[in-house]
Structure 1
Amino acid sequence: MVCYNDELVNIEDKGIMTDTSIQSNAYILYYEQTELVINAYLAIIQRDHRDLVLCLDTFFLIEKKRDLKSIKSINTVDTVLIPVPSNNHWSLLVVQSKNQTVFVLDSSGGTNKKAVEFIRSLYKKEFSIDLSYTKKLKHKISLQENGYDCGVFVLLYSEALAGGQSLCFTKNEIATARQRIRQRIMKAVIKSI
């Protein structure tokens, strides 16, 4: 068992760190592993872009006790990234504090209105901030062409927003993203040992 930034990586149970999964291009983002991978990779993005973004974990929207005020840097960053699980699908909820907006990046084109309304009401209650909801994005985004890349897209969107890059990805970037994500997580885990 290895821990990276409070994310537990269990070698035996998850199979993430076995020789075969490291050496092959097998999918690392199976649904049962998606939460673990998303949380670990968002921790890396958070580490690399600490002053620009706050990456909340996959449990934020499903935990019973949600307290935004206890999250120290929530008002000091421009962008808050929240991965949203919904019926075997993942999307990314984005709060931009500077212009007080919230929007969803969904690789299948969904809007996830429940998550948007929840975060709007939470910001209103905790900070008296009325976030406006933006359906139409200024920038075009890439959409997935299969039924299993949503977790990869959440991480690519997060990385792009944190780095001020385009939300459009080439087919080659998407095809190699799993391997790159796996390698960055493994490197971070090994460094932390």
Structure 2
Amino acid sequence: MRPPPLPSHLPPQDEDQVTALMSRRGIISKYAREQVTDQDIMRLRPNKWLNDEVINFYGALILGRSDACKENPATNGKSKVKKPLDVHFFSTFFWTKLEKEGYEKGRLAKWTKKIDIFSKDVILIPVNHGNIHWTGAAINFRQKRIESYDSMHDDRARVIKLLRQYVDLEHRNKKKAPFDFTGWEDYAPADIPQQDNGFDCGVFTCQFLESLSRGQESFNFCQKDILYLRRRMIWEIGNATLRTEP
């Protein structure tokens, strides 16, 4: 079932808070190991390309929500918001290491010294393509899929190929055996939201990954929602929490 459509604006008090956040200077917010400054938050103004700091902060919020849900599993069964999955979020630097250096040289085994990715539902990965385009990728253990979500519908076969290689090498390193890909598929759905410009890809990527972290199989946003989503992300980053309602 497709989620309900998004509103066009935040509640008035939250819109006021967003305006206030955009006028602050210095460090705007901290969460886990991430922080966002006034220069970073400006990337969420209209027509701006998101940087690593914003995407990694947002990813930390996604990961934190997932971890908190594991610690406090009781949820309201009548809630319209799907319970978050057990996810791990790799920072934007993971893909750079994987693509440019590979598993061994990039020392990617050390990235998971305290994490068993094979026990997770989904691994979420923001992907930077040549510093000109962001896409989302996922290793979906629940659905047995290597996934790519691109708001410009480019061919992302290389993303899927490298992530398959990563899964196998990680399994060999941690489990001392090749990974069994029986029943797995490569998944790059065509019917996903598309951008109509060259600068909103980071927002699309963050929203793809956030939706995936809740097990969504479809997305309730499109290009017309991006201005609202930019404002919502400012509020979420400023408050270091993801909204439970639009």
Fold match by TM threshold 0.5: yes
Question: 1:182 Cα shift?
Answer: 1.0
Give the number of equivalent residue pairs: 178
State which of 49, 66, 76 in structure 1 corresponds to 2:108.
66
When structure 1 is superposed on structure 2, of 89-98 and 162-171 the one drifting more is 162-171
Residue number in structure 2 paired with 1:141: 192
CA distance in 2, matches of 1:154, 1:170: 12
Q: In the alignment, is residue 156 of structure 1 matched against residue 207 of structure 2?
A: yes
**2:34/2:57 contact within 8 Å kept:** yes
Equivalent residue in structure 2 for 1:85, among 128, 134, 147: 128
Match of 2:158 among 114, 120, 132: 114
Q: Is 2:187 the partner of 1:187?
A: no
Q: Is residue 2:129 matched to residue 1:102? A: no
CA displacement at 1:71 relative to structure 2? 5.1
Distance 1:113 1:130, change over 3 A: farther
When the two chains are superposed, the root-mean-square deviation of aligned CA atoms in Å is 2.6
Give the whole-Å Cα distance in 1 for the aligned partners of 2:40 and 2:135: 24
Residues 97 and 178 of structure 1: is their aligned pair in 2 closer, same or farther, counting only changes over 3 Å?
Answer: same
Match of 1:41 in 2: 58
Report the secondary structure of 1:75's partner residue: helix
Would you say the 8 A contact 1:41–1:185 is kept in 2? Answer: yes
* Partner-residue secondary structure (3-state), 2:179: coil
Q: 1:136 Cα deviation (Å)?
A: 4.8
Partner of 1:26: 45
Distance 1:156 1:7 in 2: 19
SS of 1:156's partner is helix
What TM-score results when the alignment is normalised by the length of structure 2?
0.64
Say whether the 8 Å CA contact 1:107–1:153 is kept in structure 2: yes
**Conserved 8 A contact 1:104-1:111:** no
**1:167 alignment partner in structure 2:** 219
Q: Does 1:177 align with 2:204?
A: no
Taking structure 1 as reference, are residues 41 and 69 closer, same or farther at Cα in structure 2, changes over 3 Å only?
Answer: closer
- Alignment-mate amino acid for residue 57 of structure 2: A
CA distance in 1, matches of 2:115, 2:142: 17
Q: Given the superposition, is the C-alpha separation of residues 94 and 112 from structure 1 closer, same or farther in structure 2, using an over 3 Å criterion?
A: same
Identity between Structure 1 and Structure 2 (%): 27
Contact 1:140 1:167 in 2 (8 A): no
Counterpart in 2 of 1:129?
A: 179
- Which deviates further from its counterpart, 149-158 or 2-11? 2-11
Q: 1:10 Cα deviation (Å)?
A: 3.8
Structure 1 unmatched runs, 5+: none
8 Å CA contact 1:57–1:82 kept in 2: the answer is yes
Task: After TM superposition, give the deviation of residue 98 of structure 1 in Å.
Answer: 2.7
CA contact (8 A) 2:146 2:187 kept: no
Kindly state the Cα deviation for residue 69 of structure 1 after the two structures are TM-superposed. Answer: 4.3
